[in-house]
């Protein structure tokens, strides 16, 4: 671990970044619209190197934290509104909207906390995006939406919001186990010119400052997340892609098996935290 920290510090200095340690507001508590959100809890038993898991929210500066505490301030909610419009929009050869079959999105209360999950008929691990597109193509006769673009992210955020405050609890055994194992392996595999793994930053060095960025545990309980940096919602796979680019690695394919596996494994590292969708980060 000390070795890893040394590598990190050296590499970041080579690449011209400042590394220092600073403490976050450890005592801050997240309450959204009167609802308490659990941002710290005992790590799930499968995690060997971390005792406590923490939401990315606990690592953000006060001003960023505040944006997530009030739905009128949370810019992610603008996209949720767009998601509602899309939810009600009739599209495709069958003249249906999501609402035609599902009523309002609250039907999916709790779903976000168990995603990604095994889909029996497809015989595959499915992310939320897969469900949306499967319904669009099979149930509506409409075009699939592109992963990582505003319409898809908005509808995924609308569905995710229904579970806000509920406990993340993805399943990691049974049919999904091989994918979980793959995700775990990928999380610890060093890649790219910087020869780093997700764990080097998000497990060995969370709490360290990289430029103005306070390194978190890389949790996904708040996704899709609104980022101040690009002023839009960011999907889970888009975030993974960004992190891989930062270490000068060739990112895996958005919607491909590696990112699906990684999504499951990373989600399982957040089991016990509350769903926070849509979260706000820098």
Q: Which residues bind ligand HEC (CB under 6 A)?
A: 56, 96, 98, 100-102, 108, 111, 131-132, 134-136, 139-140, 155, 159, 196, 198, 200-202, 210, 213, 215-216, 218-220, 222, 225, 239-240, 243-244, 246-247, 262, 266, 281
Number of H helices, E strands in the chain: 10, 12
User: What is the nearest approach in angstroms of ligand HEC to the Cβ of residue 97?
Assistant: 6
| C-beta of 31 vs 101, nearer to ligand HEC | 101
- C-beta of 79 vs 108, nearer to ligand HEC: 108
Position closest to ligand HEC via CB:
56
Mention every residue, 6+ apart, whose C-beta is less than 8 A from residue 72.
Answer: none
Backbone angles phi, psi at 104, to 5 degrees: -100, 165
Pick the closer one to ligand HEC by CB: 140 or 233.
Answer: 140
Q: How far is the CB of 111 from ligand HEC (least distance, A)?
A: 5
Indicate which residue of 101, 198, 201, 243 is catalytic: 243
Q: How far is the CB of 75 from ligand HEC (least distance, A)?
A: 15
Shortest reach from residue 247's CB to ligand HEC, in Å: 5
Instruction: Determine the Cα–Cα distance for residues 78 and 84; give it in Å rounded to an integer.
Output: 10
Cβ closer to ligand HEC: 56 or 148? 56
Q: In terms of Cα–Cα distance, which of 252, 247, 277 is closest to 262?
A: 252
Which tokens hold the place of 241? 């892609």
Written as six digits, the tokens of 88 are: 């009600």
Q: How far is the CB of 27 from ligand HEC (least distance, A)?
A: 19
Q: In what order do the strands lie in the sheet with 279-281?
A: 232-234, 225-227, 279-281
| For residue 224, cis peptide bond before it (omega within 30 degrees of 0) | yes
Identify the helix (H) or strand (E) that includes residue 125: strand 124-126
Decide whether 239 or 260 has the Cβ nearer to ligand HEC: 239
Q: Which of 134, 142, 133 is nearest to 95 (CA)?
A: 142
Burial of 212 (0-12, 13-18, 19+ CB in 10 A): exposed
Of the two residues 13 and 101, which places its CB atom closer to ligand HEC in the complex? 101
We find the least distance from the C-beta atom of residue 222 to ligand HEC, in angstroms, to be 6
Contact 200, 7 (CB under 8 A): yes
Active site residue 198: no
Q: Catalytic residue numbers?
A: 243
């Amino acid at each position: 671990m000390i070795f890893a920290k040394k590598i990190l510090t050296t590499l970041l200095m080579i690449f011209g970044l400042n590394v220092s340690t600073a403490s976050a507001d450890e005592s801050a508590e997240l309450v959204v619209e009167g609802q308490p959100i659990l941002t710290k809890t005992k790590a799930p038993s499968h995690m060997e190197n971390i005792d406590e898991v923490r939401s990315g929210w606990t690592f953000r500066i006060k001003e960023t934290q505040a944006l997530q505490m009030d739905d009128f301030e949370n810019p992610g909610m603008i996209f949720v509104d767009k998601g509602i419009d899309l939810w009600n929009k009739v599209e495709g050869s069958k003249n249906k909207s999501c609402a035609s079959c599902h009523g309002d999105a609250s039907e999916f209360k709790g779903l976000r906390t168990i995603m990604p999950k095994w889909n029996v008929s497809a015989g595959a691990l499915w992310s939320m995006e897969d469900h949306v597109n499967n319904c669009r193509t099979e149930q509506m006769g409409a075009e699939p939406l592109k992963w990582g673009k505003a319409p898809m992210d908005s509808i995924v955020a609308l569905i995710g919001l229904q579970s806000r405050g509920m406990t993340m609890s993805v399943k990691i055994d049974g049919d999904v186990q091989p994918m979980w194992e793959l995700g775990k392996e990928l999380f610890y595999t060093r890649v790219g010119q910087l020869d780093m793994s997700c764990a080097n930053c998000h497990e060995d060095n969370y709490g360290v400052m990289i430029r103005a960025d306070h390194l978190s545990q890389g949790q996904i309980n708040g996704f899709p997340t609104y980022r101040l940096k690009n002023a839009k919602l960011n999907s889970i796979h888009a975030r993974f892609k960004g992190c891989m680019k930062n270490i000068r690695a060739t990112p895996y394919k958005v919607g491909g098996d590696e990112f699906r596996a990684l999504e499951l494994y990373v989600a399982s590292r957040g089991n016990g935290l509350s769903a926070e969708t849509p979260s706000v980060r820098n």
